[in-house]
Amino acid sequence: MTTMTLDAGTTAPAATEQPEQDAVNTNTRVSETVGHPLCDDAKLSMRNVNVFYGETQAIHDVSLDIGRNEVVAMIGPSGCGKSTFLRCINRMNDTIESCRVEGDLTLDGEPIYGPKVDVVPLRARVGMVFQKPNPFPKTIYENVAYGPKIHGIASRRAELDEIVENSLRRAGLWNEVKDRLDKPGTGLSGGQQQRLCIARAIAVSPEVILMDEPCSALDPIATARIEELIDELRENYTIAIVTHSMQQAARVSQRTAYFHLGHLVEVNDTETVFTNPEHELTEAYITGRFG
């Protein structure tokens, strides 16, 4: 059984000391991570990622691939770095002054952190849904139509109408709001607002959707709808989801990544993680034991 030391004295080995990784061999042990952090058909590829908030290191040498049409769930206790890592993928951490991201992150082989990368189109390709629904203080229609308009995806009313209806349908919200598209999005219930945010995210036809605890403020029925939606969205998108609900991770994802104190401890098929995890720390976390 693989064990791992997490005390401050033993920092992660420097990138130069890493053995050459063969990206095709998904069984390669990357850094300290056990299991299968890499995959053959990677949409997103992250290598040796370190994240610092000022002097504090939040992410330690994390390498992870997210495959095309794959849902990867990221789980771990509060403060383990899973949200920070997720936010690296569409450069949301750029908005935090003291935050520094190191490592190689690529989307379809193109660097995410290149000097020439414009974050606006990047964020259209990599959409995000947050923990708390955050609709714009605009009408339901405008919430969904805003993205396609500013990204120049559609301008004519008929095109926009179609995108709005399509996105709302895919988010499972259409029937509930079709008669009040001109009412403010903020007037909807929590679950409806979250589905509106998902509709807004998919309206710009992203390739990747990042979800940061998308259901933590929702009731079980709204949660079930969104989980169902995630499964449908997988046909066309690559999805990374951070969740505090282990059952949710088990239900929606193909692979599960367990983070602990800024380290990526284990990545394995979700089936394996929830029936026979490789690492003691993963086992302790998912079974609710003292870690």
Partner 1 sequence: MEMHFDQHISRQFNEDLESLKSEMLEMGGMVTRQVADAVEALANADSELADKVLRVEKEIDRREMDLDEHATLIIAKRQPAASDLRMVMSVIRISRDLERVGDEAAKIAKMAIELTEEGTAPRGYTEIRHIASAVRKMLNDALDAYTRFDVKAALATLAEDEQVDMDYRTALREMITYMMEDPRSISRVMNVLWSLRSLERIGDHAKNICEQVVYLVEGADIRHGHEENLRKL
With b for 16 or more beta-carbon neighbours within 10 A and e for fewer, the 245-263 pattern comes to bbebbbbbbbbbbbbbbbb
Q: How far is CA 132 from CA 69, 119, 201, 212, 257, in A?
A: 25, 23, 14, 9, 23
- 276: contact with partner 1 by CB under 8 A: yes
Question: In 3-state terms, what secondary structure has residue 22?
Answer: coil
- 79: contact with partner 1 by CB under 8 A: no
Q: Could you tell me if 270 and 254 are in contact, meaning their C-beta atoms sit under 8 angstroms apart?
A: yes
- 289: contact with partner 1 by CB under 8 A: yes
With b for 16 or more beta-carbon neighbours within 10 A and e for fewer, the 165-189 pattern comes to bebbebbbbbebbeeebeeebbebe
Q: Could you tell me if 53 and 98 are in contact, meaning their C-beta atoms sit under 8 angstroms apart?
A: yes
Strands 42-53, 56-67: parallel, antiparallel or unpaired by DSSP? antiparallel
Tokens 């203080």 locate to 137
Task: Output 16 or 276, the one with its CB closest to partner 1.
Answer: 276
- 271: contact with partner 1 by CB under 8 A: no
- 288: contact with partner 1 by CB under 8 A: yes
Q: Calculate ∠ Cα 179-182-187, nearest 5°.
A: 90
- 183: contact with partner 1 by CB under 8 A: no
Minimum distance, C-beta of residue 45 to partner 1, in the bound complex (Å): 28
Task: Output 11 or 247, the one with its CB closest to partner 1.
Answer: 247
Task: Output 161 or 280, the one with its CB closest to partner 1.
Answer: 280
Minimum distance, C-beta of residue 31 to partner 1, in the bound complex (Å): 21
Minimum distance, C-beta of residue 12 to partner 1, in the bound complex (Å): 24
- The span of 70-78, 90-98, 233-241, 245-253 binding partner 1 (CB under 8 A) equals 245-253
d(CA 243, CA 252): 10
Q: How many residues belong to the site for partner 1 (CB under 8 A)?
A: 17
Task: Output 3 or 175, the one with its CB closest to partner 1.
Answer: 3
- The span of 23-31, 122-130, 220-228, 272-280 binding partner 1 (CB under 8 A) equals 272-280
* Chain positions contacting partner 1, by CB under 8 A: 1, 246-247, 250, 274-277, 280, 282-284, 286-290
